[in-house]
Structure 1
Amino acid sequence: MFGYRVPSPDEAMLISGGRRGLGGAPFRVVTGHGKFVLPFFRKVRFLTLAMCESEVAETCVTRQGIALTVRAVIAFKVGNDNESIVNAGQRFLSDQDQMSVLTGRIFAGHLRSIIGSMTVEEIVTERQKLATEVLDTSKAEMAKIGLIVDSLQIQSIDDGDAGYIDAMSAPHKAAIQRQAQIAQARASQEAAEAQQEAARNQAEYQRQTAVVQAQYQAEVDQAQARAAQAGPLAQAHAQQEVLLAQTELAQRAAELRQQQLVAEIVKPAEAEAERIRVLALAEAERMKIQAEAAASHDRVALDRMLIDQLPQIVKEAAGGLQGANVNVLNGADGLGEIAAGLVGQGLTILDSVRKNLGGSQGKDLEAKSGRVEIE
């Protein structure tokens, strides 16, 4: 838009002409927003608010009279308040690069002043103290020209060819070297001990590995030996089982042969012997019977004759009972007993006759005699 101007975020817009600025400043300060500016009647200029840098390399003499070259870097910028912007704008608006030159000169003067009151040892060992004192002493002066310092860094301190700093650091270097040597020796010793420990561990590991390998090899050998023996043992076991089976088969064959021999020879022989014995007994019995028959041929004839006469004898014995008073006590049984008694008497007579005739044996004729009461 024509006549409307806006400053960058790191810039301050200075508008001159027309009304004066705050506090009687010759221009108005605008930051962070735009402003309508009448052309031809107003003039606009921009002042940087960005961070600037200034380097300082100054030769300073210490309290001991030793010249030191001090190198430092100062980071600064224009203050954000209107007063700082006005002060800086009035001094550096036409040539803003002069801010770095003037800042370097200001800090160089303060460095020479502060270093002149310090010893080399203090400067070397207390750099932060040096930077702080330089900042404190330059703060008011920098504020007058509208600048503020963010940081001051002492980069290096050099005494040239004087060798004072080297001499000062020699004991520390010696101590450091000694400590370094001790540390190196300790490290070497620890390294040697570590190597020895590693060697021992390696040897122990190799020993354990050898033992394990030997055990494994022994187990493998045993397994191989068992495997090698397994075949012959199995074959021997199989042969033993075959022999046992053959032995059992032979025993069964022998038993079968024995049974066959008994069936074929012994049993027929026993049967033949039994047949012969029976035949012999039969023959002996036949001869005995023939002998007895021959011896008793005549006796049989006599017995037959007596048997033929037995009814007559019984009849004669019964005749003696005629006219006798016989009481039969038990009925029909009593009559049977009487008859049997008569027959028995007849047989007794017959036997007596036989004995008297020749003493031959006969068959006993038994008869039950009844209970007869004769009056």
Structure 2
Amino acid sequence: MFGYRVPAPDEAMLISGGRRGLGGAPFRVVTGHGKFVLPVFRKTRFLTLAMCESEVAETCVTRQGIALTVKAVIAFKVGNDHESIVNAGQRFLSDQDQMSILTGRIFAGHLRSIIGSMTVEEIVTERQKLATEVLETSKTEMAKIGLSVDSLQIQSIDDGDTGYIEAMSAPHKAAIQRQAQIAQAQATQASVEAQQAAARNQAEYARQTAVVQAEYSAQVDRAQAQAAQAGPLAQAHAQQEVLAAQTELALRAAELRQQQLVAEIVKPAEAEAERIRVLAVADAERMRIQAAAAASHDRVALDRMLIDQLPQIVKEAAAGLSGANVNVLNGADGLSEIAAGLVSQGLTILDSVRKNLGEDGAAASSGAVEVRRRGNGDGKVDID
């Protein structure tokens, strides 16, 4: 559209004429969008916001008085904030290439200042420290002109023909060379050892081969000798087996004869002895039973004799009471008690006599029992 202007993504559009910009700036700043600009009455210019590069090659003197040529690369751009764009526009809008030139000069001065406070050893071994200090000291000045530094890289440090840096590295070179020589010697030694080990392995392999060949030859000789002796050995083994079979046959014949003798002589004798023993035991048992029967018969006869004498015993006991002075308190019941007592006394006497006769075998076999009554006038009865 006529009069409508749009800046590129890496540009800032500066519109002059008309009212002033923010903060009293002599122009208005537009980034990221378009703006309608009146022709003739307004003027539009563009300031780059892209990354720029500046190279520095400066001869600096260290704290030790040694001149060093330092080469560095600075990456910078116009700041994204409104103030930085205004500052850069006022300084570089008409000639934007001056940004790289001025930046190089600023950093060259700071490099001389920082390197002048350091030794060669520090500069060589601590390049990042050098770059950081240069960035920190130049940050304020770069901000005043609307520029911001993204990075500073020290590319090279050269001492010219003085040879200081080379001399400084000489001990390290010597150490590296010494390590290289040691490594080479170790490699040579390892190679020689490997060759010697290979030779030993070959010799060992040859020895093992000879041993195996000798063993094979010995095995062949043994096989041939065994084959030559196979016939006689087979015949001897056959004879040995025949003898073993004959021996086994003789042993079996002896065992059979022994079994026959046992069956014909020992077993009949044992049977006869057992028969005699059984007969003897039976005869002894018969005699014992007969003796027991005879003794039982005598006992039965004795018991019958005692039973026959029981009435006479009771009678004698009652006769002993005839002269006694007995008072009957309970009438007929009292008389019954006296009669029962007499019978009980008679049975007790009978049982005592049977026990005594059982203990005395001679008295039991005779069967003589004497029962006497002895009266002493007090109503008591004694039985012998």
Pick aligned residue for 1:178 from 171, 174, 191: 174
SS at match of 2:181: helix
Following superposition of structure 1 onto structure 2, how do residues 60-209 of structure 1 map, counting pairs within 5 Å? 60-167=60-167, 169=168, 172-173=169-170, 175-207=171-203, 209=205
Q: CA RMSD in A?
A: 3.4
Higher Rg = 1
With over 3 angstroms needed to count, the CA separation of the structure-2 counterparts of 1:44 and 1:133, relative to structure 1, is same
Match of 1:288 in 2: none
Measured after TM superposition, the shift of residue 142 of structure 1 is 0.5
Give the deviation of 1:90 after TM superposition.
0.9
Q: Deviations over 1:267-315 (max 9, x none)?
A: xxxxxxxxxxxxxxxxxxxxxxxxxxxxxxxxxxxxxxxxxxxxxxxxx
CA distance in 2, matches of 1:205, 1:7: 82
Q: Hey, what does 1:257 align to over in structure 2? A: none
In 2, Cα distance between equivalents of 1:125 and 1:176: 13
Cα distance between partner residues in 1 of 2:125 and 2:132? 14
Match of 2:70, SS state, is strand
Report how far residue 216 of structure 1 moved. 8.1
What SS does structure 2 have at the residue aligned with 1:39? coil
**Normalising by structure 1, what TM-score?**
0.53
Match of 2:6 in 1: 6
Tell me the alpha carbon deviations over residues 104-127 of structure 1, each in whole angstroms, 9 at most, x when there is no partner.
111111122222233333333332
Structure-2 change in CA distance of 1:68 and 1:188 (3 Å): closer
Q: What letter corresponds to residue 75 of structure 1 in structure 2?
A: A
- In the aligned structure 1, how far is the partner of 2:139 from the partner of 2:19? 32
Residues 1:32 and 1:217: Cα distance change in structure 2 (over 3 Å): farther
**Shift in Å at residue 209 of structure 1?**
4.9
SS in 2 for 1:155: strand
TM-score, scaled to structure 2: 0.52
State the AA in 2 paired with 1:31: T
Judged with a 3 Å threshold, the aligned counterparts in structure 2 of structure 1 residues 196 and 90 are, in CA distance, closer, same or farther, namely same
- How is 1:271-290 mapped onto 2 (pairs within 5 angstroms)? none
Counterpart residue identity of residue 52, structure 1: C
Cα distance between partner residues in 2 of 1:162 and 1:53? 31
Aligned to 1:253: none
Give the AA of the match of 2:57. A
Mark the CA change 1:176 to 1:67 in structure 2 (over 3 Å): closer, same or farther: closer
1:33 match: 33
1:57 deviates by 1.4
Further displaced range: 116-125 or 212-221? 212-221
SS at match of 1:69: strand
Q: Distance in 2 between matches of 1:128 and 1:222?
A: 81
The aligned amino acid for 2:4 is Y
CA offset at residue 149 of structure 1? Answer: 0.8
Q: Please, which runs of 5 or more residues in structure 2 have no aligned partner?
A: 228-384
> Is 1:53 the counterpart of 2:50 in the alignment?
no
Q: Secondary structure at the residue paired with 1:20?
A: coil
Identity of aligned residues (%): 76
Distance change >3 Å, CA 49–CA 222, structure 1 → 2 = farther
For structure 1, the 5+ residue unaligned runs are: 234-375
Tell me which amino acid in the other structure corresponds to 2:195: A
Structure 2 residue matching 1:195: 3-state secondary structure? helix
Q: Which amino acid aligns with 1:192?
A: T
Q: CA deviation at 1:50?
A: 1.1
Q: Deviations over 1:69-124 (max 9, x none)?
A: 22211111111111111110111111110000001111111122222233333333
How is 1:335-350 mapped onto 2 (pairs within 5 angstroms)? none
| Cα distance in 2 between the residues matched to 1:58 and 1:10 | 31
5 Å-filtered alignment, 1:245-324, equals none
Comparing 84-93 with 29-38, which one deviates more in the overlay?
A: 29-38
Partners of 1:103 and 1:33 lie apart in 2 by 29
Counterpart-to-counterpart distance in 1, 2:217 and 2:6: 97
Per mean C-alpha deviation after superposition, the further-off stretch among 137-146 and 181-190 is 181-190
Q: CA deviation at 1:223?
A: 12
2:2 alignment partner, SS class: coil
Distance 2:61 2:217 in 1: 91
Distance 1:29 1:106 in 2: 27
In structure 1, what residue type is equivalent to 2:10?
Answer: D
SS at match of 1:76: strand
Name the counterpart of 2:15: 15
